[in-house]
Amino acid sequence: MKIVPVVSVYVIKDGKLLMVQENQPHCRGKWNLPAGHLDQNENMFDAAIREAKEETGLDVKLTGFLGVQNCAHGGDENPSNPAHLILIVANCVHKAKYKGF
């Protein structure tokens, strides 16, 4: 089973948690924190900032890390490609004011 590092971005503004609606076939329509895999040779700090931008359009600044979680993944969604995910949760603030969030 391969090991896959993933970052998730936790952004709160005015008491509201930023979430995104998934578009992947196995989880389409579900709500989640912005998240994604680290690119090759990318560190977790840069990955968190990149994922926030790619999934939300927000420029963020890291303020810390909330924790690390691990789980087996694949199962029903992708039984031919199981993986062990290492999820790194980053705490962020946005760099500018955005309408709607």
Which residue type, as a one-letter code, is found at position 95? K
User: What is the widest separation between alpha-carbon atoms in the chain?
Assistant: 43
State the total domains in the chain.
1
Q: Is 51 within the bounds of a domain?
A: yes
- The region of weakest confidence among 18-22, 31-35, 61-65, 67-71 is 67-71
Question: What CA–CA distances, in Å, run from 62 to 9, 43, 80, 85?
Answer: 9, 13, 35, 22
Q: Is 100 within the bounds of a domain?
A: no
DSSP, residue by residue, 37-95: EPPTT--HHHHHHHHHHHHH---EEEEEEEEEEEEEE-TTT-TTS-EEEEEEEEEEEES
Q: Is 29 within the bounds of a domain?
A: yes
Q: Is 101 within the bounds of a domain?
A: no
Tell me: pLDDT of 50 over 90.
yes
Q: Are 13 and 65 a contacting pair, CB within 8 Å?
A: no
Please, which pLDDT band fits residue 73 given cuts at 50, 70 and 90?
A: low
Please, which pLDDT band fits residue 16 given cuts at 50, 70 and 90?
A: confident
- pTM score: 0.76
Q: Is 61 within the bounds of a domain?
A: yes
Q: Is 99 within the bounds of a domain?
A: no
Average pLDDT over residues 80-91: 73
CATH of residue 52's domain is 3.90.79.10
What is the extent of the structural domain holding 33?
A: 2-94
Tell me: pLDDT of 88 over 70.
yes
Q: Is 67 within the bounds of a domain?
A: yes
